[in-house]
Amino acid sequence: MNLIKILFLIAIAGHIICGCCDCLLTYVPGGKKFDFAKMSDNKAMSETFAKMPLRNINISMLGGCLAILMIACGYYGIYLWLSEFSKVYPVIILVSAGLFLSFGVAHHVFCGVAEWFYVRMGMTDDARQAVVRFFKDTSVTMAVCYIGLMTIGVVLFISVVTGSTSLPRWACVINYIPLALVLLPLRIGGLGNWSGAAMFLGLMILI
């Protein structure tokens, strides 16, 4: 197994771990699931998080940071692989991955921090308003994170579908964006990470 495939394998493990960490923030013991649409209704919010242990949130934040570092290995692997075929594409991938990963860590931690304080402050309406304000004030981390991720997906798609790489053109679907669109109707927690793991698995097999 060469270096690039090893990096992809690390990224697969990282996406799986990060997906599990996302689920710790999304799913609450007792069968409840967090939905952003509920953030305007404190009664619904408090009912959702009534049985949320702070331990789950702490594990999610710490585990997510480690997982994102592992995911970084995969994007470095894509950079190394694309460097064999182009001088432009890999640079864009590297810069976009830097934005996605650095702001992604902050976004993941901020999501955990918001939940932690909401639960710790007794799930009052004041706590909900503080959390909503916090999300709005730190929304730039989410925006930059997803801009970086979408740029990676678009560049990878273009490089494959135009025949600029060694992969067949149909392999352009082995990409975060189309895989996420396929999984979107399932509305599962950590959707982005499951599609990311599938992407790196497909690339590891094909390259």
pLDDT digits (tens, 9 = 90+) for 32-64: 888 877 788 899 889 889 999 999 999 999 999
Distance CA 142, CA 125 (A): 24
pLDDT at 130 over 70: yes
- Neighbour tally for 123: CB within 10 Å: 19
pLDDT at 1: 64
pLDDT at 185: 86
List all residues 6 or more positions away from 1 whose beta carbon is below 8 Å from its beta carbon: 9
pLDDT at 19: 94
Q: Which tokens in the block code for residue 18?
A: 């990060």
Q: Quick one: which of 74, 136, 145 has its CA closest to 107?
A: 145
Q: Which tokens in the block code for residue 52?
A: 């949320």
pLDDT at 31: 83
Q: What is the mean pLDDT of the chain?
A: 92
Distance CA 71, CA 65 (A): 10
pLDDT at 204 over 80: yes
Query: Which of 8-17, 21-30, 114-123 ranks highest by mean pLDDT?
Result: 8-17
Q: Quick one: which of 8, 9, 5, 56 has its CA closest to 30?
A: 56
pLDDT at 14 over 90: yes
Amino acid at 48: T
pLDDT at 184 over 90: no
Distance CA 199, CA 202 (A): 5
Instruction: Give per-residue burial for 142-177: e unless 16+ CB within 10 Å, then b.
Output: bebbbebbebbbebbbebbbeeebebeeebbebbbb
Inter-CA distances, 90 with 72, 136, 169, 199, Å:
14, 33, 18, 17
pLDDT at 148 over 80: yes
Q: Which tokens in the block code for residue 105?
A: 């860590």
Give the residue-averaged pLDDT of 84-103: 93
pTM of the model: 0.91
Give the residue-averaged pLDDT of 184-205: 91
